[in-house]
Amino acid sequence: MIALDRTALICDLAETYGILDYKALPIETLAVLSIGLRENSRIKMKLSGARVQPDSLLLAAAVDRLSLLVWSKTKDAEKGINKPKSLVGILSGEEKTSDILAFDTAEEWEAEKRRIIGGM
């Protein structure tokens, strides 16, 4: 866990147990306390690859169902158009929210700019 995200583990230990200096603990105690963190702790969510807490996904699923139910009673539904986007899909990263591009470095941005304007 420390190798994956030291900061997340420190935050979780401080929040859950009030431990501010994890290095002062015996390694066995640290391991037991780390494993005992709740499933929606920062480090456990990172380990599992979860992007959103489970309770938020359940709420999003309820909104999705309600939106679909309301949409199904519209003229758009009769034509099969303008179906509402899934919040669960957006939160889990399975569905894009827009065509916005993001770049990690200035070089990536410059390369995309050159591609768009024709290699100038």
Please spell the DSSP secondary structure of 4-46, one letter per residue.
HHHHHHHHHHHHHH--S-GGGS-HHHHHHHHHTS-TTSHHHHH
pLDDT (tens digit per residue) in 93-116:
777 655 667 788 888 888 888 888
Distances in whole angstroms, Cα of residue 82 to Cα of each of 52, 66, 72, 75: 26, 15, 11, 10
The tokens describing 34, both together, are 């780390």
Residue positions counted in the chain? 120
Q: Phi/psi at 45 (nearest 5 deg)?
A: -65, -40
How far is Cα 40 from Cα 50, in angstroms, rounded to an integer? 9
Give the C-alpha separation, 48 to 15, whole Å. Answer: 20
pLDDT tens digits for 12-58?
Answer: 999 999 999 999 999 999 999 999 999 999 999 999 988 888 899 99
Residue 65: pLDDT above 60? yes
| pTM, 2 dp | 0.60
Tell me what pLDDT residue 97 has: 59
Q: What is the pLDDT of residue 24?
A: 96
Q: How confident is the model at residue 117 (pLDDT cuts 50, 70, 90)?
A: confident
- How confident is the model over 80-97, as pLDDT tens digits? 899 999 999 988 877 765
